[in-house]
Chain A
Amino acid sequence: MAELIRSSKACSVYPLKMSQPLGAVYAILGVKNSMPIMHGSQGCAAFAKTFLTRHFWENIPMQTTALSEIVTIMGGDENLHTALKNVIEKNKPEFVGVVSTGVSETRGDDTEGSIKMFRELYDEYSHTKIVFVSTPDYVGSFHEGYSKAVSSILRSLLRAPMKKSPNQINLLISYSMTAKDIDAIEELIKSFGFKPVIFPDMRSLDGQAKAFSSITKYGTDIRDIEMMPASTITIAIGESVREAGEYLEKKFMIPMFYYDSLIGLENFDSLISLLINLSGKEPPESVKRWRDRLLDAMVDSHFYLTGKKVVVAGEPDFLWGMANFLTKEMGAEVPLIVSPTYADGLENLPVGKVIIGDLEDILLHIDGSDIDLLIGNTNLRHIAKEIKAPHYRVGIPIFDRLGHFLKGYIGYEGTANLVFELANLLMERDEEASYHIPEHIKRR
């Protein structure tokens, strides 16, 4: 059981937190032919758009209701309605996700009611699905925003129970998974003879050539989402989608199998066992081969990782897999993890301290001990520089490295990639350190 510390500073320094609306938008972008609209001032959407563009190196569909000073004070539905009309007419999305912001929530907007009114006033737009997610900026973080959006989309698109289709499985995907991760799990599930419905499918932002589009070109098809009640089970990966899984369980009696992460041997073994039991089939040869390779990779890498001190920072879904794998499977020590927001069960992780705070808190809480490795988003580089530790980039945003979204981290294959990358960083550092001439020898 870790010590849970909530940072009590008035000023967040080197912020780790990303806003709730940003998390919601992220999930909305995982739907095919969709367009997110931020209900707020223009700057909120502009920042969010630039932020995600820099992370993905892709154009990010996003619009704003552009509340300005007068509108901000007066209230009113006009901006929202105009934005919806413009977006539907110009971009022709099948799906529009409206997320609120600090501005519209402080103004006291009844956005949900306003969307209902829009529906009544404009019959001609009824073919476009519109879903609202309430995400004031001053509550929660990216994690909650993503979680709420996933649940809200299901709640508003799914209606009556359906006849079960025995081969269909719901796959709820954490924001911590990359395009490669999603490929891997899709392939695996198909190899056992099941048809997965993957939601949200972030491969919509995986880098597509010759395909400029103002709305998402890929992602989960709305018709597939609507078929989700017909699935036999739900596999939920990541705390952020647990609530959505629970909803499917309660409302449509679909049993949920929950994994906080699919990084590491044990997690994946347990998923494979589940699939073996469900299908009565053996996994394909390639999966068996990769399990061997992973074991070998872990043995080879342990020289560099076992006993090392690693600090991990990020939104909650990134923390579970990393912390468990590093400590329980690789024998590293994680003296502290930092999350911008609390999520249920974080304090049960096998780490020293769980800090709810910002990146500066790492400096304030490592208590002078030498840290061998830092794991987290690009912004962590400021801390890495300060304490002169190698920095492995995982998380959001990453804007000083290319290709992160096409790397795998989950499953036997992904974990092997991860463990090699971490070990390589430490190998380089250890090698360098061993050439360091001690002062007393130099003086001679």
Chain B
Amino acid sequence: MKRLEEFFFEPNCGHNKLKSEKEKKQGCSKPKPGGASGGCAFDGAQIALVPISDALHLVHGPIPCAGNSWDNRGTRSSFSTNYRIGLTTDMSEMDVVHGGEKKLYRAIKEVVERYKPSAVFVYQTCVPAMIGDDVVSVCKKASEDLGVPIIPVESPGFVGSKNLGNKLAGDALFRYVIGTQEPEYTTDYDVNLLGEYNIAGELWQVKPLFKELGIRILACISGDVTYRQVACAHRARVNMVVCSKTMLNLARKMEEKYGIPYFEGSFYGIKDTSDALRNFARLLGSEELIERTERLIEREEKRIKEKLQPYIEKLRGKRVLINTGGVKSWSMVSQVQELGMVVVGTSGKKSTSGDKERMIELLGDEGKIVDDPNPKELVRMFKEYDVDLLMAGGRSKFVALKEGIPFLDTNQERIKPYAGYDGMLILAQELVRTLYSPVFKLYRRKAPWQSL
């Protein structure tokens, strides 16, 4: 796993720039024994690749890796349902003693014959990595024998966090997939999105905008995408990195090898959506496109602001605490602020120094940056900051609900799309719905026997 070191030297990762030499060697933050635990590298790799929907995703290892996680993401696809089939070699004790390579080969053969996929991604997990199963060679052989691309993803969980897993996935795509096929035709307006997972169909919220502008999304890595689209992704003119940290290294490598410029952005909120479109127009370098884009932005902003007005009246001044990771912790801040709400704090967890600068700028004096609060601290903050609503991932959902604080899921389990202009309206509607639900008042009501 020598290659791993490379990932800790991401020159463009603001997080790494700030570290001392020694810290860099240690890599990104280590999980603490007996502390709250996040997902493993395998989890991260799966998140980034499973949305390649016409491929099969086969997990090599004992049951827990796939068994406890298959079909658990909110990514949606318009191409195929292959990606929702849970597949694993479910290694037994015998396989651990004798090695699992033969079983893996047989497993690949079985599923290729039965499901005829465009490709198979094979995920390496901890136990087979520890006993030395050579997944790369098995995939190579299977690929030659079966005539289908079989892509090894070396992502045993113990190498690190979910974020590292995202990067390993990007690496697998760069080494084995991108550039292996050619599109039927190309246009001057072909682009890729990197780090957009089409959770709850968010990609579909913004796709019509691209279509109207005549910009073709060659590949969305990875959300609602086919294997072939990813294989052709090297022909794009511009890459947009939707999640700043994890797909950055893929963007950088694609710039180096194929000369594709990239920018970082987000589709959360009116301003960010407009900025993203502007950046595309600018980098695609046509005056005519820039002009058309401005017109579209003007029209869309006007349209959505009118629609939002009645909601903003209900949301104005409500106090929100945001506890979500990475890029979302600032992109969601601006989104919520655009709705007239007050952000009393956001989490600096998994954020780069660049993320943090943006947060400080956005929050002003009122808001605090909090570092990965544990449940007890969260409860304390609800009271101290007089919080009306928590926006967070599923992990803190029940901390809020138990305290009678309305909650909005911003993670993969959400089923409403919040991206783009229309996503803003959906977000506003969801916020009003939960904030004005009568249940929270009743929740605080004393039981009959308590007033005796």
Contact = CB atoms under 8 A, between A and B. Distances in A.
Contacts of B402: 59, 208-212
Interface string A56-89: 0111001111111100110000011011111100
Interface string A140-157: 010000000000000000
B394 interface: yes
B166 to A, nearest CB: 13
Contacts of B127: 102-103, 106, 137-138
Q: How large is the interface on B (under 10, 10 to 19, 20 to 34, 35 or more residues)?
A: 35 or more
Contact of B443 (A11, A17, A103, A209): A209
Contact of B130 (A10, A80, A103): A103
A226 to B, nearest CB: 26
A139 B126 CA distance: 15
B62 interface: yes
Contacts of A65: 33-34
A71 to B, nearest CB: 8
B70 interface: yes
A141 B90 CA distance: 11
A375 interface: no
Interface in A28-57: 37, 40-51, 53-54, 57
A180 interface: no
A80 to B, nearest CB: 7
B91 interface: yes
Given A19-B64, A53-B398, A82-B34, 18 more contacts: A10-B89, A10-B104, A10-B109, A11-B111, A12-B88, A17-B90, A43-B41, A44-B40, A50-B72, A54-B72, A63-B34, A66-B30, A83-B34, A102-B96, A106-B130, A138-B93, A138-B95, A212-B379
Contacts of A443: none
Given A13-B86, A46-B39, A46-B40, A137 B158 contact: no
B451 interface: no
A382 interface: yes
Interface of A: 9-15, 17-19, 21-22, 37, 40-51, 53-54, 57-59, 62-69, 72-73, 79-80, 82-87, 90, 101-103, 106-107, 136-139, 141, 208-212, 214, 379, 382
A138 B88 contact: no
B92 interface: yes
Nearest to B402: A212
B101 to A, nearest CB: 11
Given A13-B86, A17-B63, A138-B93, A47 B68 contact: yes
Nearest to A11: B107
Interface of B: 1, 4, 30-43, 58, 61-72, 84-93, 95-96, 103-104, 106-111, 114, 126-127, 130-131, 156-161, 374-376, 379, 394-395, 398-399, 402-404, 413, 443
A269 B84 CA distance: 44
Nearest to A49: B37
Contacts of A103: 126-127, 130, 157-158
22 contacts: A10-B110, A11-B110, A12-B63, A12-B90, A13-B85, A13-B86, A17-B90, A18-B68, A42-B31, A47-B39, A47-B65, A49-B37, A51-B72, A66-B33, A68-B160, A86-B35, A87-B34, A103-B157, A106-B126, A106-B127, A107-B130, A212-B403
Given A41-B158, A68-B160, A138-B127, A15 B70 contact: yes
A85 B35 CA distance: 11
Contact of B88 (A11, A21, A101): A11
B107 A10 contact: yes
Nearest to B107: A11
Contacts of A48: 64, 68
Contacts of B158: 41, 67-69, 72, 103
Contacts of A106: 96, 126-127, 130-131
